[in-house]
Amino acid sequence: MAEANETRVAVYIDFDNVVISQYDHEHGRGSFIKEKARTALGDTAGKLEEATVDIGAILDYASSFGALAITRAYADWAAPANTRYQKQLINRAVDLVQLFNTSGTKNGADIRLAIDVVEDLFRIEDISHVVIVAGDSDYIPLAQRARRMGRVVVGIGVEGSTSSAFKNACDEFSYYEQVAQLNVVEAPAAEPEVAPKKTARRASAEASVTAADPQREARTVLQRAMEARKNDDVDGWVVASALKQQIKRLDAGFDEKKLGFKSFTDFIKANASLVELQEDGQNRRVRLRSRD
């Protein structure tokens, strides 16, 4: 449950836009349409895999602004290029909005998404941040309207496919590549048998095949939370209470006591190889240990 004074975030993903943009970013401008990648047939299946969008990275980044109150993704979910994402989106409690492709190229996501955003902001007054995952200049009026309504607008777009005017219309903007990089999880130094780096998406896929290890999973969530909040302070320090709140956003079932720790501080101390703890009376701060 969100704290009474916690900021609340609404996330809207023009999923077709992101999938197409990421494919073009990896394989050349216009490749998605030219190669008919929407069907995921032949060589395009492998090329779509190479251009996979890390949903977890986007949602983790959005949660750094506050509790996720709304998460919606707009696309033609019958299209094979999008179908493969359905399970992981549903697992992250993302509401899938079906849009039928009537013109062969455009699915009308910008209109439906914009209507939903404005309606939600009038209906849910405590939404403080609006995250728009797209890059189309069609979203400029929406960003401007949300800002006039007193909301902070955060944009996420793929480099090379994002309108500079849309970036300027947002209060904050990040390229998807930067956001995805935040979600790179490093293997613990004390466990050399684990691959040196893996994305949270890949880690979660492997976890479904191997036996669950609560301690390892908690450590992974701890690092993801630290990566999401490390810009809170110029030196990378995060207030312990804010860190725990972020962990709960990423994993609502997290409970240090179920892991065998008397307190959150004990949990942090048990992961001293990953993070360092600074204590000053009742004030506690945490930051990632340098890997240098």
d(CA 148, CA 270): 46
Closest Cα to residue 137, out of 106, 102, 110, 103? 110
**pLDDT per residue over 239-281, tens digit each?**
998 898 888 888 877 888 888 888 899 999 999 999 999 988 7
Q: Which class is domain 8-181?
A: alpha beta
127-133 vs 8-14, strand pairing mode = parallel
**pLDDT per residue over 136-151, tens digit each?**
889 999 999 999 999 9
Closest Cα to residue 83, out of 124, 41, 40? 40
pLDDT (0 to 100) of residue 283: 86
pLDDT of 187 above 50: no
CA-based diameter of the chain, in Å? 63
pLDDT (0 to 100) of residue 50: 93
pLDDT of 210 above 50: no
pLDDT of 290 above 70: yes
d(CA 282, CA 231): 22
State mean pLDDT over 227-233. Answer: 82
The pTM score is: 0.71
CB 94 within 8 A of CB 71: yes
pLDDT (0 to 100) of residue 106: 53
Residues of the chain with CATH 3.40.50.1010: 8-181
Residues of the chain with CATH 3.30.420.610: 213-288
**pLDDT per residue over 14-69, tens digit each?**
999 999 999 999 999 999 999 999 999 999 999 999 999 999 999 989 998 988 99
Angle at 53 between CA 19 and CA 44, to 5 degrees: 60
Look at phi and psi of residue 66 and say left if phi exceeds 0, alpha if psi is from -120 to 50, else beta: left
Going by pLDDT thresholds of 50, 70 and 90, the confidence category of residue 292 is low
CATH number of 213-288: 3.30.420.610
CA 188 to chain centroid? 22
